[in-house]
Amino acid sequence: MATATRTPTVGELLNRKDVHFNLWPAHLVEHAIRKGEAQLADNGAVVATTGKKTGRSPKDKFIVKDAITADKVAWGPVNQAFDAAKFDALYLRVMEYLSTRELYVQDLFCGADTTYRLPVRFVNEFAWHNLFVRQLFIRPSAEELKTHKAEFTVIAAPNFKADPKRDGTVSEQFVILNFAEKIVLIGGGAYAGEMKKSIFSIMNFLMPPRNVFPMHCSSNVGHDGRTALFFGLSGTGKTTLSADPSRNLIGDDEHGWSAKGVFNFEGGCYAKCIKLSHEKEPQIWNALRFGSVLENVVLDANRRPNYDDDSLTENTRAAYPVEFIENCVIPGVGGHPENVVFLTADAFGVLPPVSKLSPEQAMFHFMSGYTAKVAGTEAGVKEPQATFSTCFGSPFLPLPPKVYAEMLGRRLREHNAQCWLVNTGWQGGPYGVGKRMDIPYTRAMVDGAVEGTLGKVEFEVEPSFGLTIPKSCPGVPSQLLSPRNAWADKAAYDRAAADLCARFAKNFENFDVPEEVQTAGPKAQK
């Protein structure tokens, strides 16, 4: 890496009295409040705001193109190439900026399976960011800290603004992965999820060559030892549905599937908390206490969180250690999954609440990665908007999608796992007309799938999407299981279903997959 006079190296940068190493939550809370970074809510959680960016900024994420990445990364709008010399120059500017700031360092692990875990170091300008990563990743024991040697270092400087003309970025914000230098450089934005997802992107690059299938999914295990996986994009219910009082939580968002079984990449959870209630999500509600971090949650005059207030963003978030969930699995490892659940929040209101997928259909829907944004959650979104994110995690996949899809196919065949498609979205009409499926009903369908009871009922094939749906499900009114029946205007349902079928077909046109997978999805209806 380039060097310059008067610019400190990482070692020099951290060899100062105002650099704090591996502070515990109480100290980090004190620092965050002392510096005016955050407030303390009445439930004990730290509450911070992230400014104008209240979510990830995909257009500001880059990967340095070099000898390691040039022939491996699927370059394009998702994986944007960044010049190595430009990275070196920007890195030096960030280092100089941080040389006058009080800093916080955490040495952590990614990966609950010690065979595959990645030692990482986070260097943070904000104390609350340092608390966030400490609670979200795996915390070494005192003995492990003595020998901890980071393979990757994440440097986060939210208040440093890039100059696009000078630095080669798109805006003042940037998230740049450098696999040669083993550094992630983040600046220009305070949304903490960028740190979490940068490490996930690294694991998605490193794990496949080691025969580990990296997955954007949650995972839990029943008392009978049956492991289940839950894939889905943000807002589809991965965290909510995996936090099940009747099952033990392995992890809520990122996992690896190795030859031995499933393991959590993280040591914490990062849950959406808009409209959170104790009645519907008691485990998450109870996890939000001292040591937790709330992002962009509005407090009332008595500092009580108002989870219904979306004035800052619909994407309010909570981060907390996985052990704050009473029935978590420590360490976060499990056996080979028997059931794999694909979650979608269909705002068009036409997909069935639960469907049993053939292996070919499973591959189709995995490659599609469908959900639908609802009106009002993003600027300019006035009606339901289809979103297709390959493998339920396109922004975090450096390698070509077929690498991950083929790994899923192999795992399903090897372990005879059953796939299910569960719609946590709308019924009886699109967003604004219909009603979102109640969480207790969705949970009953998911429980039936992963516990085995749903596999014993009678099924039928619905005509719009060719999906196999149950005629009954314990704990769910049977009239809810067929989406067309829930619409008062059947002709309107047929039009909406045909429109979504066409969107699926259009999205899948450019995928290079076997014919049996290509033909397993819904067809554009004439």
Task: From 439, 446, 441, select the one nearest 419 (Cα to Cα).
Answer: 446
Give burial (CB, 10 Å; 0-12/13-18/19+) of 500.
buried
**Which among 218, 236, 239, 387 is annotated as catalytic?**
239
197 is a catalytic site residue: yes
Is 83 designated active site?
A: no
| Dist CA 154 CA 199 (whole Å) | 8
Based on the residue annotation, tell me whether 218 is a catalytic residue of this protein: no
165 classed as catalytic = no
390 vs 367: CA distance, rounded Å: 5
Known catalytic membership, residue 234: yes
Catalytic residue among 61, 197, 356, 443: 197
Which residue is catalytic, options 121, 216, 356, 373? Answer: 216
Query: Is 253 known to be catalytic?
Result: yes
HEC-encoded secondary structure of 503-520: HHHHHHCCCCCCHHHHCC
Q: Among candidates 213, 214, 189, which has minimal Cα distance to 201?
A: 214
Exactly one of 20, 31, 121, 238 is catalytic; name it: 238
Is 242 a known active-site residue?
no
Q: Specify the amino acid at residue 129.
A: H
The phi and psi torsions of 313 (rounded to 5 degrees) equal: -175, 155
The residue annotated as part of the active site, out of 61, 317, 373, 443, is 317
Specify the 3-state DSSP secondary structure of 360: helix
Annotated active-site residue in 20, 31, 56, 356: 56
Q: Which residues contact 493 (CB under 8 A, 6 or more apart)?
A: 350, 483, 484, 487
Q: Which amino acid is at 503?
A: R
- The residues, ordered by sequence, that sit 6+ positions from 413 with a Cβ below 8 Å of its Cβ are 359
Query: In 3-state terms, the chain is what percent helix, strand and coil (to 5)?
Result: 30, 25, 45
d(CA 327, CA 38): 30
The phi, psi pair for 376, rounded to 5°, reads 95, -15
271: β partners: 318
Q: Is 389 a catalytic residue?
A: no
Which candidate in 234, 258, 371, 394 is catalytic? 234
- d(CA 245, CA 251) in angstroms, rounded, equals 14
Instruction: Indicate which residue of 167, 253, 346, 447 is catalytic.
Output: 253
Active-site positions read 56, 197, 216, 234, 238-239, 253, 317
